[in-house]
Chains A and B, each alone.
Chain A
Amino acid sequence: MADLFFFLSFFIYTISWIGFGFYFKTLKKEVLKYAQFVLLLGFLFHSIFWIIKIYQIFTTNILPFKYLLNFLSWELVFIYFIFALTPIKTYATGFFLLPLVLLLLILFVIFPQQILSPFSKLFKSFWFPLHAFTGLLSHGFLLFGVVTSLMYLLQEREIKKKHLGFFFKKLPPLEYLDKVNEKCLYLGFIFLSFAMISGAVWSEATFGNYWRWSPKEVITLILWLIYAVLIHQRVLIGWRGKKASYMFLLGFSIWLISFFMINLFSKGFHTYAS
């Protein structure tokens, strides 16, 4: 049953991506309307998939690593709709975001089922779901910010080099992309802080200590510090645009390490491979 909804949503996302491609080419509002409607439909199916899955996870106490990828892709679509509702018009993001969503879903399919969470038995606590959810949400905002940062860099390059080519007309204004970046930054930081606090509280409740300097914790702390520096510089000095975009890319590479390398290969706390 859940599989059916998964494949449906994957299929519909693909169609929606093609629709966004047409919108990107023609910039017609009608096309956008259809593409977004299709995306919403896919999102509904995806949500149903997750409702079923969450129920299964809580009844079986098994959480394979690959479901995190799937959940991230769900979040990215969710964040797209959040930004689509705000007055900042950056609809072209859909065209760049959906490949990432589809890539995550493909990774979800090809990842082996056996890699399980080491805390499977410890799910039934108030803090653990909160920790996982806020953590993943902060990753979602980070990834979304990476996509808009890439768009910003593309657009900036064309304007700065005075070569107004294909992307100039199609991409949203620099200011709008920067505003989305800013919001991703603040929201990502807030959720990452939540994840760290709830994780610490949960760790204290289950293992008896708040912080144990495992690789995952260290690298997350680095990520959190990058966020903090970025916000500090943005508010006080005005780091924005290109610099902020590059910082997002730096944060992204650190996230890649923390999410894939450490979760899968390193020994210790948070490791799924054991």
Chain B
Amino acid sequence: MPLKITILLIGLNHKTAPVEIREKLSFKNSPFHPLEKLKKEFSSFKEAYFLSTCNRVEFCFVLENYQKTNFLTDFASFLEKESSFKWKELEPHLYFLENEKAIKHLFEVACGLDSMVIGEPQILGQVKSAYKDALNYRTSGIVLNRLLHKCFSVAKKVRTETGIGGGAVSISYAAYTLAKKILGSLRDKTVLLVGAGEMAELACMHFVSGGIRKVLIANRTISKAVELAEKFRGEAYSLDELTTALTKADIVISSTGAPSCVITKNMVASILKPRKYKPLFIIDIAVPRDVEPEVNKLENVYLYDIDDLKSVVEENLKERKKEALRAQVIIETEVFKFQKWLKELDFHPTIRALTEKAEILRQKELAKTFKKLKNLSEEEKEAIEILTKSLTQKLLYYPINFIKNSYHEEGKYAISLIRQIFELDEPFKEVSDHEIESLSYEIEKVKKEDIEKSSDSQTESQKNSNSKKILIQ
């Protein structure tokens, strides 16, 4: 049975569109939120969600099947107006995913599988805030609520069960994790920046946020070192005092533009004793290199140059790609589960079957009654017809209302319960008069018992009247 609704995802990302188009469609500078405008201008969709990050712009809609073509023209005109691009220019950069593919894509995005740096964690926060926006503008409904909550739980599952977020994938972070593995806690450690360039400053940020105790800066022009030292509340040294600074440091980040080595093996060897052989981690991110490679051979000195760090990062990325395959398996099972839920969500067939069954019963009973009462006028017949109709409708109001109200919480349970109670999945079987008679006899019996009991005690009577009510219902 095909679904009545379509989940439609339209978007573009760093792989499909150049930055000029991405930035125009990001709506970052527009005075209104796209969902706000979409909701005001078009009514051809039921639910909508909008995600915009620096690498992707995605819309996700839930709409009735028959409105799809309508909606697409609406949406095209909307984008043309907002982005000042022609639809024909935009279309090749967009991807249009429906139902299964759309669900899968949303899951992959939330897990960071579709990101530029695979497994990066920021995207989940961005998806969450995008969902919050959708809630704010009241464009999210039953399907999207469920879908996005599923997204969050899938992302969490993938993160805990696979190593997709494991291992540092940026050079400065790789240096930071290495430092932690060598020096343990960084709280009582000192960083020395050799060369006051931007690179060193950036690399140092991780250490500063990691709670480093002190920052020393050694630079050729001392004024620049002083400037940076003020920023980090550290100490400034000239390059001539490098040995003194090295003695005090635990981590060295070197990034001078010097053509030859600034830190030599002899220099480091001479400071080992005054340092009492405390471990020293030297990060050389300069090209050409600042530190003699031989330094790594000294005891308790660990030297990593830019290529070493790059290979660490690449190794980690490879590892993440392997883990991504495992993540795909989790995502696929979750997509399958979600689709199953979607199918069960469709309550229309159940309501139709219910009303049809009631109508058949009504017609049959009506025919019986009319057979017995032959002298009825047309008016009277009509009155009886109306009476029976409204009776069945009023009785049916409760189960139908139950399905409609509770299907988003209990989903399949509500529907399958109703189907079971009214035997909608079994062939039609008329209830014989005999069975009805015995049923009414039982009802009478219960009533009698109730009356007897209510005279016994007053507290019990409350309960019994409740059960009576249930029976009558």
Contact = CB atoms under 8 A, between A and B. Distances in A.
Contacts of B361: none
Contacts of B296: 160
Contacts of A175: 182-185, 279
A162 B278 contact: no
Interface in A106-139: none
Interface string A44-73: 000000000000000000000000000000
A270 interface: no
Contacts of B300: 240-242
Q: Which 5 A-B pairs have the closest CB atoms?
A: A238-B276, A175-B184, A238-B277, A173-B184, A176-B184
B181 interface: yes
A175 B276 CA distance: 14
29 contacts: A159-B181, A159-B182, A159-B302, A162-B304, A164-B312, A164-B315, A169-B166, A169-B167, A172-B184, A173-B180, A173-B181, A173-B182, A173-B184, A174-B181, A174-B183, A174-B184, A174-B279, A175-B182, A175-B185, A175-B279, A179-B184, A238-B275, A238-B276, A238-B277, A240-B277, A240-B278, A241-B299, A242-B299, A243-B299
A237 B299 contact: no
A164 B167 CA distance: 11
B277 A237 contact: yes
Interface of B: 166-167, 178, 180-185, 273, 275-279, 296, 299-300, 302, 304, 308, 311-312, 315
Contacts of B273: 237-238
Contact of B276 (A164, A176, A237, A243): A237
Given A159-B181, A162-B311, A238-B275, 5 more contacts: A155-B181, A173-B183, A176-B184, A238-B273, A242-B300
Size range of the interface on A?
20 to 34
Contacts of B278: 238, 240
Contacts of B181: 155, 159, 168, 173-174
Contacts, number: 55
Contacts of B180: 173
Contacts of B304: 162
B277 A160 contact: no
A167 to B, nearest CB: 10
A176 B304 CA distance: 21
A239 interface: yes
B302 A160 contact: yes
Interface string A152-169: 000100011010100011
Interface of A: 155, 159-160, 162, 164, 168-169, 172-176, 179, 237-243
Contacts of B311: 162
Contacts of B315: 164
A237 B278 CA distance: 10
A160 B281 CA distance: 11
A62 B278 CA distance: 49
Contacts of B276: 237-238, 240
Contacts of A179: 184
Contacts of B185: 175
Nearest to A172: B184
A127 to B, nearest CB: 39
Nearest to A160: B302
Contacts of B166: 169
Nearest to A177: B184
B188 to A, nearest CB: 10
B308 A162 contact: yes
A196 to B, nearest CB: 29
